Each structure stands twice: as C-alpha cells, then as structure tokens.
Chains A and B, each alone.
Chain A
Amino acid sequence: MNDDMMIMPTGEIKALMEALLAGDRIQEPLEVIISDDAENFIRIDNFLGLLGLSTGSAIRKTVLSTARAGAIQRSIEKEDLYLRLRMVAHEEKLSEHFEISADPDIRRPPDTQESEDPGGDVALEQGTGGDTADAHHAMHDENETRREKCLGERNGG
C-alpha cells in the first residue's frame, strides 16, 4: 500500500458490495456498522435489555457509549472495513435534512435586496472601488492577449 491509494482485499470488496446492495435486509444501528467488534456490542446491548434496562436508560446508554467509543476507535485504527460493513444501519428515524436553495435572494439581508439585481451585471465593490464584473472580464481578456503576445514573441524568436 502506498500513500495514494489502498487496495482492499477481495473479502472486503465483497462485503462492501454486499452491504451497499443490501440496505433493505440489514438492520443494525450505525455504531455497529463501524465497529470492529459488532458481536460484542450486540451482546452487551442484549444483555442490558435482559437486565430490564430500557433503551432510554442512562445506565444502558453509558455502557453502550463506552463500548461504541472503543470499538469505533479500534475500527478506525485498524481500517477494518470488512467488520464495519458486516451490518448496515438500523431503520432508525432519520434526522431532519435541509435544502440548499441556490437562490441568492432568499436569505439576502433585507437592506441589500433592492440595491442589487442578481440577474443583471452587478457592480462589484472592490477594495480600490468601482470595479465591475465586466471590468474583470476585460482584465481577463487583457491578460489573455498579453499572454498570447508573450508566447508569440517567445516562439517567434
């Protein structure tokens, strides 16, 4: 393995593909997926359940978080993807997502909404003052021309 890439063993590839293709079948919490000791995690979880500790119990949460933290740490250190992928996430309630709207006006501060038109050529405020988008394009054109001229002179001798 070099610094640039890691080739996975065949077993890991198979596990990876199986996991990716089998999202419906496998139902385990996320901490189990990225654990290098999934069986132990489940064993502790079941044992705490048998003791009558509910899933919301503080003791149960504490014990499991300890097991989870250690497992994740070992898992990351060992790069043990095969074990991480033996089981895939439980049908847990998904956290809320948000949308990136791509509409510059939607959250623009009210005092600027009327002063700038996003559809038109907006005058850009420059540190030196007064530059515009067109001026930038012009500067670019000028740079291009200068570059081409230099290249021509160099090539032409």
Chain B
Amino acid sequence: MTFEESKLYRRLMHAAHAVFIWIGTGQWGKTVGVNSFANEGIFWDRDIVMVNYPYKFVRENYPARYRSEKWPKDLKDIPKQIRSSKDFVIIDDAVFLAGARDHGTRENKELQKLLTIASHHELFISVTIQNTSLLDFSVMQAQDVFMFHKKMDALSMEFERPMIKARQVVANIKIDQYAKAHPAIHPKAWTWCSTTNEMFTTKMPDWWMPRMSKPFYGVMPG
C-alpha cells in the first residue's frame, strides 16, 4: 500500500493544520520518525522549525529547509518566528517545553494556546514525548490530533495515562506482529497510528546521522 492509499493521507491531503503526537520509549525512533514524516512529500511546501534545538546544530547538520527557533517569551512574538501556513513545527522532547510537572507555567499555557489555534495559523505541529504522563494533558485537547506510537517498554507503560494506555497496548502488539512478519525491516521503523488504525514505516532520511537522535547532547534545551 502506498501512502496515498492510506487513511492518514486522505485525512491530511486537504488539511492545512494538524497536531501529531509521537510517543514511545527513548531510542525507538521518534526523532527519526518525526523528521522523516515532516519530509514526506505531502508537506513539501513547508519549512521545518525545530523548537529550542541548538541553533548551530540545526544549521550545520540539517537541510536548508530546516531552522531552529527559540520558544518566544511572549506568544505575540510567535508570528515573527513561526510563519502561518508556511512552517511545519517540531517540538522534540516536549517535556522540556510542556511537561506535566510544569503545568500552569507560561510556556505550557502558551503552547496549549498555539496548539488550540493551530488551525487558525494553518500549522502542522509535531510533538514527541516518551510517555504522555510527562506531557501536559491539555496538549492532547488540541484540534485534529493524530497519535503516532513507537514501541513503549513495560515500565514506561506502567505510568502511561489511562486513556492512552489501551492505544499503546494495541500499538505494542501490532508493532511486534509487523516486525515479526517483516524481519527485513528494522523494528524501530514501525509506527502505529492509533487515530486511523494504520501501520507505517518511516525511512531514515539520507542526510540523517546518529548524533541527530541526540540533539541535546552536552547542552540543556531551552
């Protein structure tokens, strides 16, 4: 099956906005997956904004359509840094920006506002997080949320939010099944979309390097 034949594509082909939440245990391919997905042809007219990534790191390692932006101190400044209808925003390891322990902070409230008004700004926003219990629950109440699941280990599952747990259990089982049925495909490539109940693989971009999976190596985000 091609991407064009998928339910996910049919949902996105005429969409100008959406929020994608990628969850799963660390080092199971969330960062690769989110970048691979952002580079899918359906988003060809968008530039990719890595929020709070080290600026030099992005400039030196990523293709030209990428740039890094710091989360603004004032939500009013967002249009100066994130362009409506033009950008695909990636918030990698969102615990640093919208962590559940930081509920009520300015950044968290403002991110929630941005996600809520993503449709007005016609933005695609991807958020990666290891476990949704680490993510402020309000993020999941944004409009047009698509849930993408990587494999989650049992211990992490223990702390997963109740409403996500059933989805993740099914995702884990499905990923096991598909990985077993297709041994030639790397197990970390599998991603379950619990919004459309579909399985897909993400191919590593040609320009991807191992260090890109650890963008905050040696630095603290923010």
How many residues of chain A are within 8 Å of chain B by beta carbon? 56
* A140 CB, min distance to chain B CBs, angstroms: 7
Known contacts A23-B173, A81-B166, A105-B41; A95 and B55 CB within 8 A of each other: no
Q: Bin the interface of chain B by size.
A: 35 or more
Question: B63-71, B109-117, B211-219: which one contacts chain A?
Answer: B63-71
* B62 CB, min distance to chain A CBs, angstroms: 11
B86 touches A103 (CB 8 A): no
A89 touches B200 (CB 8 A): no
Of B5, B41, B180, chain A has the most CB atoms within 10 Å of the CB of B41
B162 touches A112 (CB 8 A): no
A100 touches B170 (CB 8 A): no
A118 touches B166 (CB 8 A): no
Q: Is A99 engaged at the interface, CB distance under 8 Å to the other chain?
A: yes
A104 touches B200 (CB 8 A): no
Known contacts A97-B201, A107-B42, A108-B41; A102 and B64 CB within 8 A of each other: no
Q: Which residue in A4, A20, A94 is a CB contact (below 8 Å) of B154?
A: A20
B180 touches A23 (CB 8 A): yes
Contacts of A121 in B (CB 8 A): 64
Q: Which residue in A5, A81, A118, A133 is a CB contact (below 8 Å) of B133?
A: A5
Q: Indicate with 1 or 0, residue by residue over B32-67, a CB within 8 angstroms of chain A CB atoms.
A: 010111011111100100000001000100011101
B41 touches A16 (CB 8 A): no
The 9 tightest CB contacts between A and B, nearest first, are A107-B41, A96-B1, A102-B36, A97-B199, A102-B205, A5-B133, A102-B39, A121-B64, A100-B202
Q: What are 26 of the A-B contact pairs (CB < 8 Å)?
A: A4-B133, A5-B161, A7-B158, A7-B159, A19-B169, A20-B173, A33-B173, A34-B169, A85-B169, A89-B174, A96-B1, A97-B199, A98-B2, A98-B6, A100-B37, A100-B200, A100-B202, A102-B40, A102-B203, A104-B43, A104-B44, A107-B4, A122-B64, A127-B84, A133-B47, A140-B55
